[in-house]
Amino acid sequence: MKSKHDVLIIGGGPVGLSCAYYLLKSGRKVTLLDAKEIGKGSGSGNAGHIVPSHIIPLAAPGVVTSALKWMLDPAHSPFGMKVSLDPNYLMWLLRFTLACSQDNVTRSLEPLNQLGQLSAKNFAQIIAEEKFDCAYQEKGLLHLFKTEKAFHEGQHEGEFMQKHGIPVSVYDKTKVHEVEPAALDDVIGGVHFTGDAHLNPAVFLNLLKERVRAMGAEMLENTSVTGFESAGGKVRVVRTGKGAFEAEQVILAAGALTPSVAKDLKLNIPIQPARGYSLTMSANKTMPSHALILGERRIAVSPMGDVLRFTGRLEVGNYSMEPNPVWIQRIENSAREYLRLDEKQDVKETWAGLRPTAKNGVPIIGKSPKHENLFLATGHAMLGLSLAPGTGLVVSQLLNGQQPAFSLSPMRLERFG
């Protein structure tokens, strides 16, 4: 027997939960399904950076060359990739490489900027209105550098962002130590994206989950979507391990697993997982006072009240969510190259998550080209938390037949042809 629903959301990560929140606010009835526990997947152990400054997509000029260079120094490389002859994977690699162009950057800048600004505003609003206590801090994101070359490149990137309205401050050696006393003496400069923020993502997602439940959402955990039945240009049935569902409208927000969940829908959704790791420890005696990026090592640092988190590594093509102890140790070693840390760490959690990465590094948001009641909200890569409240709002507007404040066409699936 099929149960009939208004809006059915597949995937309870930051994106699915945010869609649920805004749809409930607009008066819709929501059912949220997750194969595992809602709010506990790839969104929970991440760095918690809310970064409207990230307006350059992952697929940008120079990315492939840098990735190849990094791989020559395997003990420190922030990048890795699976070796596989899977044709989907090889095609994605090829398409991603081709997308690393100035054209892709030019096309993506404005939509990422608009979605990023909307999302940052929505985070501040949700946290204030709902009184969420989640270590949220609007102190910007400070990039630290130890070498002149990397500092110079960081300043160059900062100037580029500034031209697109992103607030940036550049600090010399004296100033950077004044601003961030946890930095070791050989840090020579910093670039501070002062409009960014950070929070504890697991706490935020749990609070959002409880709020969404209190607003009336039906939430089904450990309920894996196994297939769909479509007819007449509509999704008619969503099949799960716990029975079949019918819904007026369906949102597919299953992160890196979206392509396999969608296999019956005959949509080509070009997403690969990009795995990364985090290490969370008790607060240190000297806590960094900002969210940081350790420039040359590409490690993210997040002080979250009573805990301190380091995250890093981007491994394309790996679906396993097992943290790799070798990389966890390397991430800690890299952090020690920049920061005053306690000699012995009280490790609270090691974690791995998947960044759902579309082949041009830009999210996929919009109505399915083949189904008038199916909407896609996925492919946010390294920005799935940061862009979630903006995505949730625009997706709820689309479902309600309203026009979002900016064009979503650069994010529609059809852009891939």
Ligand X SMILES: Cc1cc2nc3c(=O)[nH]c(=O)nc-3n(C[C@H](O)[C@H](O)[C@H](O)COP(=O)(O)OP(=O)(O)OC[C@H]3O[C@@H](n4cnc5c(N)ncnc54)[C@H](O)[C@@H]3O)c2cc1C
Select 192 or 355, whichever has its Cβ closest to ligand X.
355
Q: Where are the alpha helices (DSSP H) in 100-243?
A: 102-129, 148-163, 173-179, 201-214
d(CA 191, CA 161): 11
| CB of 8 vs ligand X, minimal distance in Å | 10
Contacting ligand X (CB under 6 A), which of 9, 238, 254, 364?
A: 254
Asked if residue 225 binds ligand X (CB under 6 A), the reply is yes
Tokens of 405: 């404040």
Select 14 or 111, whichever has its Cβ closest to ligand X.
14
Select 177 or 311, whichever has its Cβ closest to ligand X.
311
Rounded to the nearest 5°, which phi and psi values hold at 350?
Answer: -115, 150
Tokens of 38: 């809602």
Radius of gyration of the CA atoms of the chain, in A: 21
Q: Which stretch binds ligand X (CB under 6 A): 32-40, 144-152, 243-251, 333-341?
A: 32-40
Q: Which stretch binds ligand X (CB under 6 A): 28-36, 95-103, 227-235, 367-375?
A: 28-36
Asked if residue 323 binds ligand X (CB under 6 A), the reply is no
Asked if residue 20 binds ligand X (CB under 6 A), the reply is no
The 3-class secondary structure across 369-398, one letter per residue, is: CCCCCEEEEECEHHHCCCCHHHHHHHHHHH
CB 383 within 8 A of CB 53: no
Q: How many other C-beta atoms are found inside a 10 Å radius of the C-beta of residue 234?
A: 16
d(CA 313, CA 177): 26
| CB of 262 vs ligand X, minimal distance in Å | 9
Select 16 or 295, whichever has its Cβ closest to ligand X.
16
Asked if residue 33 binds ligand X (CB under 6 A), the reply is yes
The site for ligand X, by CB under 6 A, has a size of: 42
| CB of 276 vs ligand X, minimal distance in Å | 3
CB 240 within 8 A of CB 231: no
Asked if residue 100 binds ligand X (CB under 6 A), the reply is no
Contacting ligand X (CB under 6 A), which of 104, 113, 360, 378?
A: 378
d(CA 159, CA 201): 29
Select 104 or 350, whichever has its Cβ closest to ligand X.
350
**Which segments within 136-287 are labelled E, that is strand?**
141-145, 168-171, 189-193, 197-198, 218-220, 225-231, 234-240, 243-252, 271-282
| CB of 382 vs ligand X, minimal distance in Å | 5
| CB of 149 vs ligand X, minimal distance in Å | 25
Select 122 or 177, whichever has its Cβ closest to ligand X.
122
| CB of 275 vs ligand X, minimal distance in Å | 6
Q: Which stretch binds ligand X (CB under 6 A): 66-74, 231-239, 273-281, 398-406?
A: 273-281
Residues 37-96 interacting with ligand X (rule: CB under 6 A) = 41-43, 46-49
Tokens of 68: 């190849």
Asked if residue 15 binds ligand X (CB under 6 A), the reply is yes
CB 80 within 8 A of CB 316: yes
Contacting ligand X (CB under 6 A), which of 24, 261, 262, 411?
A: 261
* Long-range own/partner contacts, residues 122-129 (CB < 8 A, 24 or more apart): 122/389, 122/390, 122/392, 122/393, 123/50, 123/197, 123/199, 123/389, 124/197, 126/21, 126/208, 126/389, 127/199, 127/204
Tokens of 242: 């716990």
Contacting ligand X (CB under 6 A), which of 5, 9, 14, 271?
A: 14
Residues that bind ligand X (CB under 6 A): 10-16, 33-36, 41-43, 46-49, 224-225, 253-257, 261, 276-278, 300, 311, 353-356, 378, 380, 382-386
